[in-house]
Structure 1
Amino acid sequence: MHQPRQWLLVLINYTARLAAWLAFGVFFRVERRGMGNLPRVGGVLVISNHISWFDPPLLNMALRRVPHWLAMVELFQSKFTHWFFTRAGVIPIDRSQPGSGPLKEAIRRLRAGHVLVLFPEGGIHDGPRSVLGGDPEIKEGAALIALKAGVPIVPAIIEGARQSYVGRNWFFRRCAIRLTLGEPFQLPPKCDRAGAHALMRDKLLALAAEVKARPTR
């Protein structure tokens, strides 16, 4: 698997961050909380709900470190997107046949001290069967990565991003998007995959409940 050169990874990241900052500044009102909960050094697994195509650029803009990603292999179909995403620190994964290669690479990067962003729902989900809806399906691969990497885990909740492009709301007014990072946590000693899966799910649901209970500005 291609290893991104650090200087190119940083260049792509900060260019994308600037573009996102300009776009979000014009079309949206972004409220960020808990950004200091992301450890400044060492491997960190960020697990986030996924409600829109805006989520990756929003997280990339907001996080105070250069993140790596797991993303669906369909994004790598053209020569340009394959070149761009591999050099932007994105690991392709086939959701129909995940295999062990992408998971091992994700674990390797976490152990090497990088930040990895993971959407454990496995794709964009809204409604009752989502994290914000209260009954999400969390993929088993997320628990395996967390167990094998042994790094701090930071839950993240995004709210409002999907509504921003429903009914062309963004064109007429600056929609509110809220991004919240929860406190980092570690899996307990001798935790198995089922325990890791349950704990990660509970942490996401607890943070989602906290965010939804917060008054909208």
Structure 2
Amino acid sequence: MRLFRSTEDDYYENAMRDYPLPLRIFYGTIIVILFAFSKVMWRWRVDNPAELVSSDGTGSVIICNHTSMAEVVAIVTHIWMTGRRARPIMKSEFNDVRIVEWLFARVGAIPVERGTADMKSLRRAQHALQRGEDVLIFPEGTRIRTDDQPVEVHGGFALMAQMSKADIAPMAVCGFRDITPVGSHIMRPKKTWIRCASRVSLSDAPKELKRRERLAWFEEESIRRMYAVRDELRAEHPGRR
């Protein structure tokens, strides 16, 4: 890949470790700065981090509840600092802004057309997982800013994992919503929490289920574990979201 000649498609379809060296150095420097900043500001740590790591060298499909952009920073920098690479899945509408499209492609994000069978994006994610890169997905699709906000869980991540023969690694966050309260754009220093649930493999599905039912179980069980861990954290830290 060439620094000034590569297209967005090149970044979507090639390994992050093959990105141009100056870009990797720059991005690595930004990651270290954001890691230190977020640790000081939000004092997070990841409980049960081993659950994020596959035992067979493939990547993991990491799913998480979504309350703030700050948690994206914490999760991505954590993964990077452990020596792995994470590709966030983003909604394709971000690519309507050229500078955003340019930037997100170079940090490893993969755009997806929500509500469609976006096979191109599924294939890109599949190849990333098979190379050992993690794929980070927020199934709620948008930040959930209040408890009474309607939540629509978007599927597709289980199919992505199935195509790649990868596990799903559910995790959850708590306290990040309080960093930027509704009506404010100023981030505040707040303690936050991140916890991983036990990994889910398609082979864990009940044997009597048919193929389509097994995929549905794979998705539903992953979501169940994500929310179970979220509720554990909320119970441990009353009043924090």
TM-score, reference length from structure 1: 0.82
Please say if residues 46 and 153 of structure 1, whose CA atoms lie closer than 8 Å, have aligned partners that are also in contact: yes
Q: Which residue of 2 aligns with 1:21?
A: 35
Q: How does 1:17-96 map to 2 (within 5 A)?
A: 17-39=31-53, 41-63=57-79, 64=82, 65-95=84-114
**Kept after mapping to 2: 8 A contact 1:37/1:184:** yes
Aligned length: 212
Aligned to 1:200, which of 207, 217, 222? 222
Give 1 or 2 for the bigger CA radius of gyration.
2
Query: Could you say what secondary structure the match of 1:175 adopts?
Result: coil
Which deviates more from structure 2 when the two are superposed, residues 62-71 or residues 29-38?
29-38
Other structure's SS at 2:166 match: coil
Q: Is the 8 A contact 1:70 1:91 kept in 2?
A: yes
- Contact map agreement 2:38 2:73 (CA 8 A) in 1: no
Q: Distance in 2 between matches of 1:95 and 1:12?
A: 31
Output aligned runs, 1:1-217, within 5 Å: 1-2=9-10, 3-4=13-14, 5-8=16-19, 10-11=24-25, 13-39=27-53, 41-63=57-79, 64=82, 65-95=84-114, 97=116, 99-128=118-147, 136-166=151-181, 174-188=189-203, 190=211, 192-215=214-237
Larger relative strand fraction: 1
Give the CA deviation at 1:215: 4.6
Structure 2 letter corresponding to 1:11:
I
Cα separation, partners in 2 of 1:59 and 1:137, compared to 1, 3 Å: same
Question: What is the SS of the residue equivalent to 2:46?
Answer: strand
Counterpart AA for 2:77: M
Deviates more, 1:175-184 or 1:96-105: 96-105
Unpaired runs of 5+ residues, structure 1, are none
Deviations 1:151-204 (A, max 9, x none): 122111111111111175966x62111111222221236553322221112111
Shift of 1:42: 2.2
Query: One-letter code of the match for 2:100?
Result: T
Query: Structure 1 residues 109, 149: closer, same or farther in 2, change over 3 A?
Result: same
Shift of residue 43 of structure 1?
1.8
Match of 2:156, SS? helix
Give the superposition deviation at 1:59.
0.7
88-97 or 160-169, larger mean C-alpha shift: 160-169
Structure 1 consecutive aligned stretches of length 4 or more whose deviation exceeds 4 Å: 167-171
Contact 1:159 1:177 in 2 (8 A): yes
Q: What is the match of residue 208 of structure 2?
A: none
* Cα distance, 1:71 vs structure 2: 0.5
Q: Percent identity?
A: 20
* Structure 1 SS opposite 2:111: strand
